[in-house]
């Protein structure tokens, strides 16, 4: 299995490190920057980062269109934080580029200026024990489309969703030692 980590900007290296901690036969991890890179992988992770910057670059260099096609064709994709913003159909109060692969509206930096970052336990559907959710200027899902499944809520806010094999999480499992979400993603 070849897993791509979208490596335009953000914490992609942390995903690469997390994947390297998983003991899975034949697992290869590659950085993806171009449509050609994407065509060599079976699934891909969109990391945390800055969605405005990454959106501009994805749109300009064709990776956005390639991801849209791959996602619609059934490629498993997982976006953490900024990655979830990129996967959404709509960004609240903003006209910014996104891939439209998850029928959700996201609200950026939704936990407010005074709580830029925090950690707390989050129960995720499909995992028997909660994960430690690391939230960094995190978005929330403010609208969930009919085809989208809610995987986790935190204090009444939707923070993880799934549609077919496309997943979005507001938080960053790649910044913890716990690779259960990565393993789960590889098994989709």
Task: Based on the shown chain and the rule CB under 6 A, indicate whether residue 68 belongs to the binding site for ligand GLN.
Answer: no
Task: Based on the shown chain and the rule CB under 6 A, indicate whether residue 48 belongs to the binding site for ligand GLN.
Answer: yes
Interacting stretch for ligand GLN, rule CB under 6 A, among 23-31, 42-50, 70-78, 153-161? 42-50
Among 17, 31, 37, 50, binds ligand GLN (CB under 6 A): 50
Handedness of CA 16, 38, 59, 162 (dihedral sign): negative
Among 29, 41, 51, 131, binds ligand GLN (CB under 6 A): 51
Q: Looking at beta carbons, which pairs linking 7-10 to residues 24 or more positions away fall under 8 Å? A: 7/31, 7/32, 7/33, 7/47, 8/33, 8/49, 8/53, 8/54, 8/57, 8/58, 8/63, 9/49, 9/50, 9/53, 9/54, 9/57, 10/47, 10/48, 10/49, 10/50, 10/54, 10/82
Q: Is 172 a catalytic residue?
A: yes
Compute the residue count for the chain.
188
Q: Is 174 a catalytic residue?
A: yes
Task: Based on the shown chain and the rule CB under 6 A, indicate whether residue 76 belongs to the binding site for ligand GLN.
Answer: no
Least separation in angstroms between residue 23's CB and ligand GLN is 28
Q: How far is 115 from 113, CA to CA, in rounded Å?
A: 5
Task: Based on the shown chain and the rule CB under 6 A, indicate whether residue 81 belongs to the binding site for ligand GLN.
Answer: yes
Please check whether residue 104 is in contact with residue 144, taking contact to mean a CB–CB distance below 8 angstroms.
yes
- Write out the binding residues for ligand GLN, residues 107-166 only, by CB under 6 A: 108-109, 136-137
Catalytic site residue from 15, 163, 172, 182: 172
Residues serving a catalytic function are: 81, 172, 174
Residues in contact with ligand GLN by the rule CB under 6 A: 48-51, 81-82, 85, 108-109, 136-137
């Amino acid at each position: 299995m070849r897993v791509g980590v979208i490596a335009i900007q953000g914490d992609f290296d942390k995903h690469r490190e997390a994947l390297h901690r998983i003991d899975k036969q034949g697992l290869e991890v590659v950085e993806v920057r171009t449509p050609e890179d994407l065509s060599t992988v079976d699934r891909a992770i969109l990391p945390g980062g800055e969605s405005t910057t990454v959106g501009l670059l994805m749109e300009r260099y064709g990776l956005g269109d390639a991801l849209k096609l791959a996602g619609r064709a059934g490629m498993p994709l997982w976006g953490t934080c900024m990655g979830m913003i990129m996967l959404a159909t709509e960004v609240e109060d903003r006209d910014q580029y996104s891939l439209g692969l998850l029928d959700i509206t996201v609200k950026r930096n939704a936990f407010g200026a005074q709580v830029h970052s925090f950690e707390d336990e989050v129960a995720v559907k499909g995992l028997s024990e909660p994960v430690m959710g690391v939230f960094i200027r995190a978005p929330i899902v403010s609208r969930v489309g009919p085809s989208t499944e809610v995987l986790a809520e935190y204090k009444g806010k939707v923070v993880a969703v799934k549609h077919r094999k496309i997943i979005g999480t507001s938080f960053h499992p790649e910044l913890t030692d716990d690779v259960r979400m990565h393993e789960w993603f590889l098994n989709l």
